[in-house]
A and B are shown apart, each in its own frame.
Chain A
Amino acid sequence: MEIIDFIKVIEDEFEDLTPGTLSPYSVFRDMDGWSSMHALIFVALIDTTYDVLLTGEELKSCITIKDLFDITVLKINGGGINA
C-alpha cells in the first residue's frame, strides 16, 4: 500500500477536492469547509476501503494525511492505540 494510492482514495471521495491538492503533509482539518462530518467521512472511507476502523482517540492523534496513512498501515499490520 502506497501513500499516493491512499491520497487518491481520499480525493476520489471528496468531489469538491481538486486532484493533486493533497500531499502527505496536508493538514486534513485545514481542508476547505472542514467539519465534524468530514471526520466521519474519513473514518467510513478508511474502514470501507481498508477494513480499518479508527477510534476517536486515533483520529484525534492524526494531524496530516501521512499520520492517517501511517495509523491505517499500522492497524492493517495489527497495531494501533487500542490494538
Chain B
Amino acid sequence: MGASIKYISYFLPPLAIDNVALAKGYPDKTPQDLFDISGVHKRHIASEGVLGSDLALNAVRSLVLENSDFSLNEIDFLIFSTLVLDYNSPTTASVLHRKLGLNLNCGALDLPQGCTGFLYSLSLASAMISAGNAKNVLILLGEIPTKAIHHDDIALGSIFGDAGAALVVSENQTSKIGKFVFGTFGEGFDFLKVEVGGGRNPINSEWIKKYDDQELNLPYGRIEMNGFEVLRFALKEIPGLLDRTLLMNNISISEIDFFVFHQASAMILKSLQRKCDIPQGKFISYFEESGNTVSCSIPIALKKGADDNRFKKGDKIALIAFGIGFSCIGTVIEW
C-alpha cells in the first residue's frame, strides 16, 4: 500500500506588509532597497498572541471549505510542525487534536523541525501509511518567525513571513510519494538558531530588560542567522542532495516536470536553480508573494502552483527542503 497527498490548503494572516509599509520603519531604506535585499514584495504578519497552531487551524478550515468530500473523522494520525509550540507540554498536536475534535484512536505528534518540517512530516506520514499503521494522516504546519526577529535584523525582517498550512496524506493503491533522502550537518547549528527560549537558555529578566524596546520583548527568542554560512551550506550540499534524491528514486533530472525547493531566499533559490541547471519553466517559486514561511513554504508553493494550473496529473515533482540544524531532505512526488 502506498501514500499520496490528497488535499493541500494554506492560510496567510490578513495583515500583509509591503515594502512601502516596511520602509517606514527603516528611514535609511527605500522600498526598492528592501526588495533588493529580500526579493519579497510582501510578507504576512500574525497578530499579537496568535501562534503557529492558530494559523494551522485556519488552514484546516480552508481545507474543509475547499474539499467538500473531506471529513476530519477520517484522520487517524496528526503531525504538527512548528518552531514555536503552544506549551512545553503537552504536545501542541494534542491541543490541536482536541480543538479539531479528532477521533480518540488518532495518534498526535509534534515535530519542531524548522524549514524541513513539512518534508520530515511527509516522510513520517508516508512511512506510517506504507507500514499499515495509518490511513489518513493530517499534517499541520504553523510558523510565526516574524515574532522572533529583532527590528535591527532587516535582512530577516524583510524575508520571513508567518503562515499556516494543512495537508492530508492518504492511503493509495500505488505510492505517489517517493523515497526520502536525509542530511544533517550539526556543525551548522551555530549559523542559524534561536538560542534563547528553550530549556538551556530560558527567557529571563535580563533578556526582557535587554529587549525592552522590542515588541513583547521577543518572547519566543531571537532568530540569529549567518547569511553567508547559510548560503554556503545551500550551495555546497543541496545540489548533491538533489542528485541523491533522484538516484534514490531511480529518475533522471530530465524526467522531473517541476522542482519545488524550500522558499528560503531569492538569492538562494536563484543560485540553486542555476547550479542545478533547472530550466526556468520547471522551477516553482512564489517567494516574492509571501517570503520565507519556514515549514509552510513548500506546501504554499504546491498549492499556488496547482491553483495556477501548472501541474497535471502524473507530473513528477522534486521537493527539496533545507534549513536550521543544518538539515536537509528531498523526495519526488507524483501529482
Interface residues of A (CB under 8 A from B): 36-37, 39-41, 43-44, 47-48, 53, 55-56
Contact = CB atoms under 8 A, between A and B. Distances in A.
A43 B232 contact: yes
A55 B235 CA distance: 12
B327 to A, nearest CB: 19
A47 B235 contact: yes
B274 A48 contact: yes
Given A53-B232, A53-B235, A53-B236, A47 B37 contact: no
Interface string B211-253: 0000000000000000111011001100000000000000000
Give the interface residue-count category, chain B. Answer: 10 to 19
B267 A41 contact: yes
Interface of B: 36-37, 155, 227-229, 231-232, 235-236, 267-268, 270-271, 274-275
Contacts of A53: 232, 235-236
A37 B231 contact: no
Given A43-B232, A44-B235, A53-B236, A36 B271 contact: no
Contacts of A39: 228
A36 B232 contact: no
A56 B229 contact: yes
B227 A40 contact: yes
A44 B266 CA distance: 12
Q: Does more than half of chain A's interface fall in helix, strand or loop, or is it mixed? A: helix
Nearest to B276: A48
21 contacts: A36-B227, A36-B228, A37-B155, A40-B227, A40-B228, A41-B267, A43-B228, A43-B231, A43-B232, A44-B231, A44-B235, A44-B268, A44-B270, A44-B271, A47-B235, A47-B275, A48-B235, A48-B271, A48-B275, A53-B232, A56-B229
B265 to A, nearest CB: 9
Nearest to B230: A40
B30 to A, nearest CB: 11
Contacts of B271: 44, 47-48
Contacts of B155: 37
Nearest to B36: A37
Given A36-B227, A37-B37, A47-B235, 6 more contacts: A40-B267, A48-B271, A48-B274, A53-B236, A55-B232, A56-B228
A83 to B, nearest CB: 15
Max count, chain B CB within 10 A of own CB: residue among A39, A41, A44, A56: A44
A56 B232 CA distance: 9
A2 to B, nearest CB: 22
A71 B236 CA distance: 18
Contacts of B270: 44
Nearest to A39: B228
A77 B229 CA distance: 23
